[in-house]
Structure 1
């Protein structure tokens, strides 16, 4: 019987400790997962910085929500899973060697993914965002911000027959977008220069769909400028650091649809996860190039800093166990 496990506890702004704590026990309808790894999400960066609303210390494993591993114990009335099955989880305390979550927030990983890391939650987000974007063959789609999420969306949109214009700051991000199917790339440096470049690429028509993946004010402003009359603006960036202002006059004039693509319905989240698993297992989506930086749990602080600072070649950090 496991008497303790290691779990990250945030103790203050940009400070954490690795504690030995009792493993969580699954209750009715829950499963316990011995984690193999967990992706590091950019949404962790605001809590990591220590805003006024953040409370320390955090619960063990808190903020980690991109985990995968092997079920080692099931609670009562769980019939859909058994111990030993490899799964991806949408649980929220995965910066720890074990996490407990509702069985309805877990999906089995097929044998085709054996030995491969699988950060399921951000992949589920990407597939749900793609569905909400209503992208069709022949459309022009601008994707602003090519990190993990933007790269996956570039692949999905291009595979659907859309012409993707990728807009991002770093040259290696633009190269990644091209690898994932972008037809054109535009450096994200000058606001009016970007608008001019997109106008030139579209003969002034702008874009049927614009997906903003950054989560900051300027990219949101830019997205509104790039969407065509009657088009759709999809907000995929996680705007958690401050309120935003929008040019409602322009949005009204263009008659655009504005979609906040963050799903909160657990059933929809799980649907995206199943779609992502099927796509990666079949080879339609190759995620291996996106997992660029690997850290043990004891170096979670470095993983968070790398996610913030984006060293050369960075796309996504994973924390690995064992």
Structure 2
């Protein structure tokens, strides 16, 4: 007989004086794991005993260092892809109880515990019990997919086939689109093929890529192009790959400086250029729920692309993998003791 999840995974509640562990970026390129007093939730907050957190490419600037950051960074920050078990709830919290497995938006997730608002959390269903589930990037992928308005029969180019690009390949294929995957690493092109891409093109020579896409689309180029690199050259390449009255969806993380863009081509072809990043937390929560539904319908399968796991004490190595991207690397997870 199956024991219910709540009973089976009921945590031992920590004492008020118990310590928790958190990674702290002390200075660019340097991380320490520190013990702090365990945080207590406010009246309308919950505390999560974290099973783990994803490692996001948006962390690279704070890891490498920029003039506008102050160090040491707040403990657990910038981790924001956590999941785990609720182990304490505030007096005014409704709809969430101790022992429920959740994911969502927390902001200090490189730690063993984090605090969250209940409205920013999503309960994880039973079929995900044995799976790592960094909800935020999956919600992000679903929101980008929604903004892309991909339809059956369209040709879609995905420029940049890291974790996000691979999720978007799967989602585009679920709508019956033809997908052209363009990426720098051969390993990521192989991963794109496994995700369902119809064609793969190395991201090496600007004009050769344009000619190849022109050939594959019979001179029409693509109805949809999703740029997922965060770099200037691939963004301009994406403009050139978008057909007349097509849509260019900017999914890359462009927050490290200005970009020079070929606005002439945008204008000439009448391209809609869409920033697909959301800032409303509820949009992310909705996206996470949609990602869970897509996984259940076999339209999305992120699990093969969680390629590397690290402990909190190995955060520096995780960040090095994130920046150097060795062969075989797609997405790293930080996993806390006792979880897989």
TM-score, L = length of structure 1: 0.98
Give the one of 67, 71, 74 matched to 1:52: 67
1:177 partnered with 2:192: yes
1:71 partnered with 2:71: no
| Counterparts of 2:307 and 2:269, CA distance in 1 | 40
Alpha-carbon deviations, 1:256-304, whole Å to 9, x = none? 1111000111111111010112222444322221100010000011001
The residue that corresponds to 1:311 in the other structure is: 326
The residue that corresponds to 1:289 in the other structure is: 304
1:158 partnered with 2:185: no
Contact 2:105 2:281 in 1 (8 A): no
Give the one of 173, 191, 204 matched to 2:206: 191
| Counterparts of 2:296 and 2:29, CA distance in 1 | 36
The 5 A counterparts of 1:256-271 are: 256-271=271-286
1:109 partnered with 2:119: no
Structure 2 unaligned spans of 5+: 1-13
1:128 partnered with 2:143: yes
- CA apart distance, 1:89: 2.0
Q: How many matched pairs?
A: 322
SS in 2 for 1:233: strand
TM-score, L = length of structure 2: 0.93
Structure 1 unaligned spans of 5+: none
| Counterparts of 1:99 and 1:89, CA distance in 2 | 11
- CA apart distance, 1:176: 1.1
The residue that corresponds to 2:39 in the other structure is: 24
- CA apart distance, 1:252: 1.0
1:299 partnered with 2:314: yes
The 5 A counterparts of 1:224-235 are: 224-235=239-250
SS in 2 for 1:57: coil
- CA apart distance, 1:254: 1.0
The residue that corresponds to 2:183 in the other structure is: 168
SS in 1 for 2:42: coil
SS in 2 for 1:173: helix
CA RMSD across the alignment: 0.9
Give the one of 20, 30, 36 matched to 1:15: 30
Structure 1 residue ranges (4+ consecutive) displaced by more than 6 angstroms after TM superposition: none
Contact 1:110 1:281 in 2 (8 A): no
Alpha-carbon deviations, 1:201-252, whole Å to 9, x = none? 0011000000000001011110111000100000000012111121111111
Give the one of 1, 15, 20 matched to 1:5: 20
| Counterparts of 2:195 and 2:241, CA distance in 1 | 21
Alpha-carbon deviations, 1:18-59, whole Å to 9, x = none? 000012211122111000010000000111001111110111
